[in-house]
Chains A and B, each alone.
Chain A
């Protein structure tokens, strides 16, 4: 009978494609919007995840995110190094500066000063050049998305910039995920960064810490805070801080929430209407089947099979569409590093299940209410 149900469903092309479109469109809308939303707010964490080796970030108690930071005196580094369980600790400077390009334009940039000796704080991979170029004087490494922003298609290698009246030469391109604002990021040595950023009394933005094997990062953060009075966050906590900052300070969650809700509503509307139309068209056949001797359970199975078929195929097409979308735009710098968190297809799958269960149930009710005797009228 399931076979017959599927035949009945696909026999009516118009409604079948209508249903598929409704489901696929809802899936696409929900999945794609959620993907963009998640990736967009995860831009708040990209600065943290760009540093591949730090277990713990230590900062002034008032610092909130990588960009909203209050610098500490340089001895904070030694304080942190003095805490048992700290395997290593290096200074890390993040500040914004204005750069004058060769054409004379002023561009806001983030200057990131990484530890001179170990270069801890650089992104994991380089697009052009090696990290060794930092040992040459006045070297900065630019991030790949910043390159396109500042230089377009032209290669930035060898370009001279003016930072705080100091010369800076671009000698490498780092492979990093852009921040929320997609600001151009220049990596340089800590000592160099001190020259590039206009001076204030305290300069040390963060201390990056590696935890020793015996202690978990969570315990270590508690210990650092207790012993130094500084704020310490594990990598994941600090990433979450960045995300929360964006959630709290922008309208993004609301906007995307509305779109996702719209996707859900559109899905329910299209699928619900089409499905109940489809059932109504077939109500006589269902009545005949009931008279011939199909139990309500069997009928429900048939409707469920139809709903599942539409749901699964539509969902598959919608997910394919989302993947295609993300794939098609992956080359665009705006979408650099976008990925599909595995939870999102599950969320949209659950939404689709809700949609087809709801509409299937509504449709089924009319079938169930049909008296078999109605076929003789």
Chain B
């Protein structure tokens, strides 16, 4: 019969085998070719509410780290060149500690000038006193001459006049002295104002001007002028959390919030409630858009980071979860 090798039938044996192999290949191809649509865990940890907050209602918000004093932008009252900066970013300074000085050469020149005027006034006083003495003595001499014929009447009158003039010159010189002293004092005050001192105890956050740059008075609120340095009390740090006004009513005031820095969501810190800002403000961009025009208004809640927490920096963005009130909704 026809089952020997040379009698293998193409249509009866080869084709079915080809078809079968084709089906097997197809099954394999289909099985291995199915698209990978498995859900997987994100490779980097996203911020998540943990612990008690995980399963219950909460309010989420983006926040920013700030000093508990908020940021103090230190400026100068007098314009001029910066001649010395006494602190570096990160320095802890005490209240009243000098921070920087503005060029005081003009003021010091004025002081020298004032001092010279004082000296001049003093010399004038000395000269006027000796002139008055001379005149007084002459006048006394003429007065003591009994013989009217020995001294002419006119001589006496002249001597009296000289004595009076010398007294007046002395007065003048004295008032010039006090004027010069007053001026010297005012110049000294000015020199004092050219050295700016720390308004509060805190940490230097940034120094934005370099020695030799011109700084102008007016402070950061003035148009176009930048702060010379920024400082603030960083012990403790505060967090200012923006919360959509629609959500704001749900906040459980007083309860601690869970915050984690952007990009390090595995790190979660409990921050204590401080206050809620009484003023509702338009949302400030925390999404880095340059010109964001938003119709969303936000309530800002302030929380204090524990003093022991390292690694939070002023200005850093955080994701925060705040417990919601039980009765919410």
Given contacts A52-B39, A81-B321, A84-B58, contact A316 B18 (CB under 8 A): yes
* Chain B residues, CB < 8 A from A30: none
Minimum CB–CB distance from B259 to chain A (whole Å) comes to 13
Identify which of A10, A86, A317 contacts B18 (C-beta below 8 A).
A317
> In the bound complex, how far is the Cα of B28 from the Cα of A339, in angstroms?
12
Flag if B19 contacts A313 (CB, 8 Å).
yes
Within 173-197 of A, Cβ neighbours of B (below 8 Å) are at 177, 190-191, 194-195
* Chain A residues, CB < 8 A from B224: none
* Chain A residues, CB < 8 A from B55: 84-85, 212, 214
Minimum CB–CB distance from B141 to chain A (whole Å) comes to 96
* Chain B residues, CB < 8 A from A91: 287
> In the bound complex, how far is the Cα of B193 from the Cα of A110, in angstroms?
58
Flag if B54 contacts A212 (CB, 8 Å).
yes
Flag if B263 contacts A116 (CB, 8 Å).
yes
* Interface status of B233 (Cβ within 8 A of chain A): no
Number of cross-chain contacts by CB at 8 Å: 183
Minimum CB–CB distance from A208 to chain B (whole Å) comes to 9
* Interface status of B293 (Cβ within 8 A of chain A): yes
> In the bound complex, how far is the Cα of B289 from the Cα of A91, in angstroms?
14
Flag if B262 contacts A117 (CB, 8 Å).
yes
* Chain A residues, CB < 8 A from B263: 116-117
Flag if A194 contacts B288 (CB, 8 Å).
yes
> In the bound complex, how far is the Cα of B290 from the Cα of A194, in angstroms?
9
* Chain B residues, CB < 8 A from A89: 46, 60
Chain B residue, CB-CB nearest to A50: B37
Flag if A323 contacts B42 (CB, 8 Å).
no
Flag if A49 contacts B37 (CB, 8 Å).
yes
* Chain B residues, CB < 8 A from A78: 59-62, 243-244, 247
> In the bound complex, how far is the Cα of B9 from the Cα of A13, in angstroms?
11
> In the bound complex, how far is the Cα of B25 from the Cα of A78, in angstroms?
50
Flag if A75 contacts B18 (CB, 8 Å).
no
Within 22-55 of B, Cβ neighbours of A (below 8 Å) are at 22-23, 25-26, 29-31, 33-49, 54-55
Given contacts A82-B59, A115-B46, A342-B30, contact A320 B293 (CB under 8 A): no
* Interface status of A170 (Cβ within 8 A of chain B): no
* Chain B residues, CB < 8 A from A314: 19
Minimum CB–CB distance from B10 to chain A (whole Å) comes to 9
Interface size class of A (residues with CB under 8 A): 35 or more
> In the bound complex, how far is the Cα of B241 from the Cα of A16, in angstroms?
79
* Interface status of A345 (Cβ within 8 A of chain B): yes
Chain B residue, CB-CB nearest to A215: B55
Q: How many residues of chain B have a CB within 8 Å of chain A?
A: 68
> In the bound complex, how far is the Cα of B93 from the Cα of A37, in angstroms?
72
Identify which of A6, A88, A203, A312 contacts B42 (C-beta below 8 A).
A88
* Chain A residues, CB < 8 A from B18: 316-317, 320
Chain A residue, CB-CB nearest to B261: A117
* Interface status of B182 (Cβ within 8 A of chain A): no
Max chain B C-beta neighbours (<10 A), residue from A75, A212, A315, A341: A75
* Interface status of B20 (Cβ within 8 A of chain A): yes
Within 225-252 of A, Cβ neighbours of B (below 8 Å) are at 227, 235
Flag if A87 contacts B294 (CB, 8 Å).
no
> In the bound complex, how far is the Cα of B35 from the Cα of A177, in angstroms?
10
- Contact string against B for A residues 282-315, beta-carbon threshold 8 Å, 1 for contact and 0 otherwise: 0000000000000000000000000001001111
Given contacts A53-B42, A194-B288, contact A75 B35 (CB under 8 A): no
* Interface status of A79 (Cβ within 8 A of chain B): yes
Chain B residue, CB-CB nearest to A122: B43
* Chain B residues, CB < 8 A from A320: 18-19, 21-23, 25-26
Minimum CB–CB distance from B39 to chain A (whole Å) comes to 6
* Interface status of B56 (Cβ within 8 A of chain A): yes
Flag if A118 contacts B45 (CB, 8 Å).
yes
- Given A82-B57, A82-B58, 18 further pairs, Cβ under 8 A: A10-B9, A10-B11, A78-B243, A78-B247, A86-B49, A87-B54, A88-B47, A116-B263, A177-B35, A194-B288, A199-B292, A313-B16, A313-B19, A314-B19, A315-B19, A317-B19, A319-B26, A327-B29
Task: Please list the 5 inter-chain residue pairs (A to B) with the smallest Cβ-Cβ separation, ordered nearest first.
Answer: A316-B19, A320-B22, A81-B60, A88-B46, A75-B244
Provide 28 A-B residue pairs closer than 8 Å at the C-beta atoms, listed in order of the A residue.
A10-B9, A49-B35, A52-B40, A53-B41, A78-B59, A79-B247, A88-B42, A88-B265, A90-B46, A117-B265, A118-B44, A194-B288, A194-B289, A203-B289, A210-B46, A212-B54, A313-B15, A316-B16, A316-B20, A316-B22, A316-B23, A317-B15, A319-B22, A320-B19, A320-B25, A339-B35, A340-B33, A345-B30
